[in-house]
Amino acid sequence: MDSIGPVGLQQREGAPGCSQEGLPCPSDSSELVLECLQQFKVTETQLQQIQASLLGSMEQALRGQATPASAVRMLPTYVGSTPHGTEQGDFVVLELGATGASLRVLWVTLMGTEGHRMEPQSQEFVIPPEVMLGPGQQLFDFAAHCLSEFLDALPMDKQGLQLGFSFSFPCHQTGLDRSTLISWTKGFRCSGVEGHDVVQLLRDAIERQGAYSIDVVAVVNDTVGTMMGCEPGVGPCEIGLVVDTGTNACYMEEARHVAVLDEDRGRVCISVEWGSFSDDGVLGPVLTTFDHALDRESLNPGAQRWFEKMIGGLYLGELVRLVLAHLAQRGVLFGGCTSPALLSRGSILLDHVAEMEDPLAGAARVHALLQDLGLSVGASDAELVQYVCAAVLTRAARLCAAALAAVLSRLQHSREQQMLQIAVATGGRVFERHPSFLSVLQKTVMLLAPQCDVSFIPSVDGGGRGVAMVTAVAARLAAHRRLLEETLAPFRLNHNQLAAVQAQMREAMVKGLRGEASSLRMLPTYVRATPDGTERGDFLALDLGGTNFRVLLVRVTAGGVKITSQVYSIPEDVAQGSGQQLFDRIVDCIVDFQQKQGLSGQSLPLGFTFSFPCRQLGLDQGILLNWTKGFSASDCEGQDVVCLLREAIGRRQAVELNVVAIVNDTVGTMMSCGYEDPRCEVGLIVGTGTNACYMEELRNVAAVAGDSGHMCINMEWGAFGDDGSLDLLRTCFDANVDQASINPGKQSFEKMISGMYLGEIVRHILLRLTSLGVLFRGQQTQRLQTRDIFKTKFLSEIESDSLALRQVRAILEDLGLPLTSDDALMVLEVCQAVSQRAAQLCGAGVAAVVEKIRENRGLEELTVSVGVDGTLYKLHPHFSGLVAATVRELAPRCEVTFLQSEDGSGKGAALVTAVACRLAQMARV
């Protein structure tokens, strides 16, 4: 051990370790001692200043403002509530860093609310000094070794062990089981640990050790363990205070005041880390020459941590030693003689101070201890040494009280309470060994925080139970996470699965084109070319089948296309009523639009975007094959939709309309985008429903005569998989959604992708997770049972990057789903999994289409554009990016540009109509 010189004085000549000059007489001695100890007095004003400065430092750190190294740290601990008492199970606790050079392993059994309390079993291991200062791996290996030694001796069942790690150093926690060491304190200085996750280091060491399979579930600071282990008394215990080797406190802060957390509800436990508090302004005047000497000799000189060095048990013995050495050298004690032991660092420990300071121990014990240090003890020395111990301890207790008072004022202020009634759990050897510490602390707190009624509750087992409590909660959360992952696993598709979808789609396309049995109908549209820009005229257009029904006036001039449109509603009872009612409603809307636009009496050519599967025999003929997307108007399937419209016009007599073309929305979108970009040869819709069309070689289309040129094919890919080919990918949630739909067994692909169904898939997953107890504390709400309550637009809102989790909660609470922040995060993950699968499936479909076009044309590389529309594609924050990424992955030889349609498909329908009119005119000429 290093020996250090006396404080402020040089050793004098004469007998080794002895002062030669005239020794003071005993009564002078006590005066000189008291004079020296004056330095340890901290006045009430100074304490108040320290309290105020600490409070300022705490609040600054809470606000997330950059704070100097001399400030407190205010580290969130991810513990959100004090124990409910319901926690149960067996837990292993490993404590490192609370009690200096020792490590403790405990076996804690929590009995829940019913059972009686069981005393934990524990074992303490001394950490060799070289391990405390050596490589980090060695320290963690030592810990893993102690763990297995302890477990070896236990008769318990050691399957599925769950461990709580009490690690009492300043750490940045990012979860209950993730914690990065900021810096070592209290005599530890192992290399390769600062800046690393200590949970991972422990897990690695346990694995290297290989004796037991132990799941490290939670990491906690000792203050948190102390608070959480406190038996709930009259009120909850919301402060944990530790004075052991080091000192620190934690308390329950309102989450909304913690800037680094994205949380506005509830409370979170904050570890103050007040040991680092070193404000020179308020502590400077209080620091003694002994404090400075101690700092110079410490492992972290200059790093200050003044506060910890004046209070923590690691330093109290050392301070006493420095004072005694100084007084001996001044000739005031021990006959003016020191001893090698007195001059050696670490020769007086906290326990010695406790014994010497204890009035009951009596002078004889003090004598004995001092003699053990090789000192010759004079008649009055023992009593004077007791003064020294008391002075050092009293100062520590008063400073600690100032810090606790700062926390109390913080709580009182943030809870806006006139009188704060609160319990403080206390732990650590300074409390255990020095009863006077607590009494001074209590008295001083009453003085500094008179508006607080504080009860101090000593921790019974050094916080082990509290660590087990946190571990129990963390284990429950981890189990929930596993269930969440299992539930979402079938939604996470890998490359091979997506490539298989692409291949199946490709095969179904070919079969459909050939007229063989296939879930893809591959319907010819009689659109043979994309616009060439020479189209002109005024046209009416209808757009039925998306979110909105629209009537439009489209003016195509040399200067561009001008659109005037109006949205009308088609109530659900009309969409699902009689066909006649539906088409009468459509004509009513057209008449209204014509009147408003001053077009009454004109018979403009009309293009009808009708977004349902139709078998076309020409441009103006479309037999509705079946309704999709929630429509079910009677007597329409199997009928020519253009005839149904013409009949309705006939019933209105007053109007004349010239229906020229019927167009699927995919085709309208492709044509609309094609007007701007001639490379646009694919149309894609991802909205209420989903579908795609593309330009196919006419020779491949069995249903239409002719071998040259192209024809746009409406794939009706929503029905892909209706033959069972997607069954391997479909989850039970897809089956639920399908069963509850108005067309069970139909539109399999659409039901996994489009806006009409994603919200429902999410709702079914949430129901399942609730029944598993993972969400909403396992309580089913009536709201969540309601069909369509979870709109697909919520997915877009919830997944929006700019929205914080608190807004996610607001959205869900509006739905009557009150949830915790853990719930909010899980709901977000559910939404992400569902929308990601949708986008990837859609991408696999697009990849099949563009690859087919490329191969049709015998090209090595294809450059092509896809015109896209639909609310899901346009509003969802990540959908379009995921589609594009999937296409890049599955069709690497195609360079695909996605163009979002700005004008809707009505413009495209008008352009198709314009082309038809131009061709008809040419035919007449």
Options 105, 161, 242, 554; binder of ligand GLC; rule CB under 6 A: 242
For residue 116, the minimal CB distance to ligand GLC (Å) is 30
764 contact choice in ligand BG6, ligand GLC, none (CB below 5 to 8 Å, kind-dependent)? none
869 contact choice in ligand GLC, ligand BG6, none (CB below 5 to 8 Å, kind-dependent)? ligand BG6
Stretch that binds ligand GLC, among 55-63, 198-206, 242-250, 564-572 (CB under 6 A): 242-250
Which C-beta is closer to ligand BG6: that of 274 or that of 879?
Answer: 879
For residue 274, the minimal CB distance to ligand GLC (Å) is 8
- Is residue 734 part of the annotated active site? The answer reads no
Which C-beta is closer to ligand GLC: that of 502 or that of 616?
Answer: 616
Catalytic residue among 141, 222, 295, 665: 665
| Residue 185 near ligand GLC by CB under 6 A | yes
Could you give the CA distance from residue 457 to residue 812 in angstroms, rounded to a whole number? 40
**Rule CB under 6 A: which of 712-751 touch ligand GLC?**
716, 718, 750
In degrees and rounded to multiples of 5, residue 171 shows phi and psi of: -135, 145
Could you give the CA distance from residue 592 to residue 599 in angstroms, rounded to a whole number? 10
Per-residue CA distances from 672 to 352, 608, 863, 916 (Å): 89, 14, 19, 15
Q: Are 459 and 249 in contact (CB under 8 A)?
A: no
Q: For residue 603, give the nearest of 542, 656, 537, 661 by alpha carbon.
A: 656
Structure tokens at 673: 């985008």
905 contact choice in ligand BG6, ligand GLC, none (CB below 5 to 8 Å, kind-dependent)? ligand BG6
Could you give the CA distance from residue 155 to residue 894 in angstroms, rounded to a whole number? 66
Stretch that binds ligand GLC, among 43-51, 138-146, 218-226, 567-575 (CB under 6 A): 218-226
Q: Which residues bind ligand BG6 (CB under 6 A)?
A: 543, 545-547, 609, 611, 665, 668, 685, 687-688, 755, 869-871, 904-906
| Residue 629 near ligand GLC by CB under 6 A | yes
Per-residue CA distances from 95 to 128, 208, 459, 875 (Å): 16, 20, 15, 50
For residue 672, the minimal CB distance to ligand BG6 (Å) is 8
Options 197, 665, 734, 823; binder of ligand GLC; rule CB under 6 A: 665
For residue 636, the minimal CB distance to ligand BG6 (Å) is 18
Compute the residue count for the chain: 925
Could you give the CA distance from residue 137 to residue 127 in angstroms, rounded to a whole number? 14
Catalytic residue among 203, 305, 465, 550: 550
Which C-beta is closer to ligand GLC: that of 242 or that of 841?
Answer: 242
For residue 521, the minimal CB distance to ligand GLC (Å) is 10
| Residue 905 near ligand GLC by CB under 6 A | no
462 contact choice in ligand GLC, ligand BG6, none (CB below 5 to 8 Å, kind-dependent)? none
Q: Are 525 and 663 in contact (CB under 8 A)?
A: yes
| Residue 166 near ligand GLC by CB under 6 A | no
- Is residue 611 part of the annotated active site? The answer reads yes
| Residue 628 near ligand GLC by CB under 6 A | yes
502 contact choice in ligand BG6, ligand GLC, none (CB below 5 to 8 Å, kind-dependent)? none
For residue 322, the minimal CB distance to ligand GLC (Å) is 21
For residue 629, the minimal CB distance to ligand GLC (Å) is 5
For residue 712, the minimal CB distance to ligand GLC (Å) is 12
DSSP 857-908: TT-SSEEEEEEEE-HHHHHSTTHHHHHHHHHHHH-TTEEEEEEE-SS-SHHH
Structure tokens at 359: 């009035």
In degrees and rounded to multiples of 5, residue 802 shows phi and psi of: -75, -10
Per-residue CA distances from 856 to 504, 844, 850, 890 (Å): 17, 18, 10, 17
For residue 786, the minimal CB distance to ligand GLC (Å) is 25
Residue-wise burial string across 253-274, b where 16 or more C-beta atoms lie within 10 A, e elsewhere = bbbebbeebebbeebbbbbbbb
Q: Are 843 and 886 in contact (CB under 8 A)?
A: yes
Could you give the CA distance from residue 13 to residue 351 in angstroms, rounded to a whole number? 34
330 contact choice in ligand BG6, ligand GLC, none (CB below 5 to 8 Å, kind-dependent)? none
**Rule CB under 6 A: which of 295-324 touch ligand GLC?**
308
Could you give the CA distance from residue 265 to residue 610 in angstroms, rounded to a whole number? 48
| Residue 845 near ligand GLC by CB under 6 A | no
Per-residue CA distances from 501 to 152, 522, 756, 864 (Å): 53, 17, 22, 21
Structure tokens at 457: 């509750």
Which C-beta is closer to ligand GLC: that of 96 or that of 648?
Answer: 96
In sequence order, which residues have a C-beta less than 8 Å from that of residue 607 and are 6 or more positions away? 539, 540, 541, 542, 660, 661, 662, 663, 668, 906, 909, 910, 911, 912, 913
DSSP 3-state of 532: coil
Could you give the CA distance from residue 633 to residue 336 in angstroms, rounded to a whole number? 109
Q: For residue 731, give the nearest of 489, 480, 482 by alpha carbon.
A: 489
Which C-beta is closer to ligand BG6: that of 291 or that of 869?
Answer: 869
| Residue 170 near ligand GLC by CB under 6 A | yes
Could you give the CA distance from residue 893 to residue 895 in angstroms, rounded to a whole number? 7
Options 168, 304, 525, 836; binder of ligand GLC; rule CB under 6 A: 168
| Residue 464 near ligand GLC by CB under 6 A | no
Q: For residue 276, give the nearest of 428, 42, 75, 134 by alpha carbon.
A: 75
Which C-beta is closer to ligand GLC: that of 1 or that of 126?
Answer: 126
Structure tokens at 459: 């921790």
186 contact choice in ligand GLC, ligand BG6, none (CB below 5 to 8 Å, kind-dependent)? ligand GLC
Q: How many CB atoms lie within 10 A of CB 148?
A: 17
Q: Which residue is listed with tokens 């302004």?
A: 281
Which C-beta is closer to ligand BG6: that of 253 or that of 665?
Answer: 665
Structure tokens at 1: 């051990």
Count of positions on this chain that bind ligand GLC (CB under 6 A):
35
Which C-beta is closer to ligand GLC: that of 305 or that of 480?
Answer: 305
For residue 749, the minimal CB distance to ligand GLC (Å) is 9
For residue 904, the minimal CB distance to ligand BG6 (Å) is 3
Which C-beta is closer to ligand BG6: that of 95 or that of 543?
Answer: 543
Options 273, 291, 696, 760; binder of ligand GLC; rule CB under 6 A: 273
Which amino acid is it at 434?
H
Which C-beta is closer to ligand BG6: that of 249 or that of 589?
Answer: 589
| Chain contacts with ligand GLC (rule: CB under 6 A) | 98, 168-170, 185-186, 221-223, 242, 244, 246-248, 273, 275, 308, 545-546, 611-613, 628-629, 664-666, 685, 687, 689-691, 716, 718, 750
Query: Hey, which residues are catalytic here?
Result: 550, 611, 665
